[in-house]
Amino acid sequence: MTVVSTCVYDAQGRLVRPSDSDVRRARFALDFDTGERPTFDRGSVHFYTMTTSGLTAGHARQRAKEMLARFFERAESVDGYRKIEMSKTQGIIHCNRNVSITYEILYAVEDGGRGRIHIPESPYAGYRRGRSSVAH
C-alpha cells in the first residue's frame, strides 16, 4: 500500500533493510491511505497491512490464510519480489468480541536491471545479523 524507500544494497550486493524510522513513517502513512491494494513499484521497498476478523479465532485464521494466499500469489508473480519481514498480531474487537488478525508485510520489488551480485543464501538465513541482512 505504501512505498517505504528505494532499494539499497550493501557492498556485498545484499538488500539492506530500511531503517526503523522509515518503516514507522510508512506505517503512519497507511492511516491516511485510502487504497487497499499492495503496490509493486520496481526498485522500492513496500509496506502492506492486511486485517481480517471472524466470529472465532479459527474463522479469523481461515480468512487471514485466504487473504495471505491471494497476496503471495500476486506478489510472487512479480519479477523482483522479495519478502523482507512479516509480522502477525491477533486481538479481540471490543465492540463485538470478534477476533481480529493483522499481518504487516515489508517487501521489496528489486529492479532486474540493477546488475547486483548474487550471494548464495547462508545456512543462517532468516536470523537477524544486523541491518545489512534480510530476514526471510
Task: Tell me the per-residue pLDDT of 72-99, one tens digit each, with 9 for 90 and over.
Answer: 999 999 999 999 999 999 999 989 999 9
> Quick check: 3 pLDDT over 70?
yes
Kindly compute the dihedral angle of the four CA atoms of residues 124, 125, 126, 130, in this order, to the nearest 10 degrees. Answer: 80
Whole-model pTM: value is 0.74
CA dist 49 and 99 (Å) reads 17
Total domains in the fold of the chain: 1
Answer whether residue 133 is part of any domain.
no
Residue 72: other Cβ atoms inside 10 A: 15
Range of the domain at 65: 2-109
Using pLDDT thresholds of 50, 70 and 90, give the confidence band for residue 125. Answer: very low
Answer whether residue 15 is part of any domain.
yes
DSSP reduced 3-state for 98:
coil
Note the pLDDT tens digit of each residue in 31-62.
555 556 788 989 999 988 899 999 999 999 99
Answer whether residue 59 is part of any domain.
yes
> Quick check: 17 pLDDT over 60?
yes
Answer whether residue 126 is part of any domain.
no
